[in-house]
Amino acid sequence: MKKRKFGLALSFVLAAGTLLGACGTSEDKEGASSGEGKKEDQFTVAMVTDVGGVDDKSFNQSAWEGLKAFGKENDLEKGKDGFDYLQSQSDADYATNLNKLARQDFDLVYGIGFLMEGAITEIAQQQKDSHFAIVDAVVDQPNVASIMFKEQEASFLAGVTAGLATKTNKIGFIGGMEIPVIERFHSGFIAGVKAVNPDAEIVADYAGAFDKAELGQTIASKMYTQDVDVIFHAAGGTGNGLFKEARDLKEKDPSRELWAIGVDSDQSAEGKVGDHNIILTSALKRVDNAVVDLSTKAKEGNFPGGEQILYGLKEDGVGLAELNAELSNKDEVMKKVDEWKEKITSGEVTVPETIKDAEAFSAN
């Protein structure tokens, strides 16, 4: 009899515990919906940077600016319940970071840069219920949207500017790695220079990396020594070395006319030297606009999984930053830039995507 009473008492204790547990779960759910966790109807988005980092003053930073703008438009806060990012220290971090964000239930996860193509492919296959987007690569998976740009159109306008700004008729190009996206930058730049100054010589060199500012400075130093007076870079953080070299030379001789052209975002802040600025302009790759656009589509239930979205001048996906006010023929250059922009957006001119086609390009 005593054993039976003990059994009944134990049953009552377990039942009470179950009820209390259920109450606790209910309160937790209410807390989540009131801001302690992700609201069920609240869209969340995050990104993984490549090795350049979120403050690279270029590609990754532009993407992060886009996420912040989207967050502001939709009253989201930074964090796992709104918008966020994870920074990659090496390529070994890509898959881990993408997987971590997917497991945190972000509605959309961006992989910034072609270097993440393999990691996005791998994690998208594992996390089939998650939505991903990759910039500068195409991943053929139903839960991945691929964002691509017509970089050659922006760099063409940068080439027009360089071709009309040079006094020595020697112009430089510094690339990060020899990959398709950088070839598009290089090709458009060559064509743009040729369109307005076919006699100009273009010197090119590739650093083999996007995060080696010291190497960028070495290459820039060599070019400036060879009488190059305008250098355009498409090299991510490596391009910061170009800016340093140009600033140093301008500081030593303020009367010397030399220019650097930025990439991805307006990099004019990197060119200040006393009362001067050595940044002529920047070839804009509006990753920020693309991120806002795609995030909005996904939020509205129109995520373009399995599709490739292409952004060019016409879509405000690329462009040219404001020209430096110190440029002596600024008005003339701006007029030409506008003329060529109109020709490109109207379809009258197709900008080459390869070096081979760029070398054969003719403005006539």
Which token pair is 197?
């100054």
Query: Scanning the structure block, which residue is given the tokens 């009944």?
Result: 8
pLDDT tens digits, one per residue of 14-40: 334 443 344 443 333 333 333 444 556
pLDDT of residue 121: 98
The total of other beta-carbon atoms located within 10 Å of residue 325's CB is 7
pLDDT tens digits, one per residue of 163-196: 999 999 999 999 999 999 999 999 999 999 999 9
CA 314 to chain centre: 18
Which of 153, 188, 196, 191 lies closest to 344, judged by CA?
153
DSSP 150: -
Higher pLDDT, 59 or 283: 283
Q: Is 46:109 a contact under the CB 8 Å cutoff? A: yes
Q: Are strands 108-112 and 45-48 parallel, antiparallel or unpaired?
A: parallel
3-state SS of 6-35 is HHHHHHHHHHHHHHHHHHHHHHHHHHHHHH
DSSP 323: P
pLDDT tens digits, one per residue of 190-213: 999 999 999 999 999 999 998 899
pLDDT of residue 55: 86
pLDDT of residue 341: 98
**Overall average pLDDT of the 87-108 stretch:** 97
CA 249 to chain centre: 29
pLDDT of residue 20: 37
Partnered with residue 146 across adjacent β-strands are 134, 308
pTM of the model: 0.83
Count of H helices and E strands in the chain?
11, 14
The total of other beta-carbon atoms located within 10 Å of residue 14's CB is 10
Distances from the Cα of 64 to the Cα of 203, 286, 303, angstroms: 33, 11, 19
Which of 92, 119, 230 lies closest to 172, judged by CA?
230
Q: Is 298:43 a contact under the CB 8 Å cutoff? A: yes
pLDDT of residue 106: 98
Element housing 78 (H / E): none
Residue 4 confidence (pLDDT) above 50: no
Higher pLDDT, 363 or 355: 355
Query: Scanning the structure block, which residue is given the tokens 């515990």?
Result: 17
Partnered with residue 226 across adjacent β-strands are none
pLDDT of residue 67: 98
pLDDT tens digits, one per residue of 297-345: 999 999 999 999 999 999 999 999 999 999 999 999 999 999 999 999 9
Which of 14, 308, 345 lies closest to 141, judged by CA?
308
**Whole-angstrom distance, CA of residue 113 vs CA of residue 105:** 22
Residue 122 confidence (pLDDT) above 50: yes
pLDDT tens digits, one per residue of 225-276: 999 999 999 998 899 999 999 999 999 999 999 999 999 889 999 999 999 9
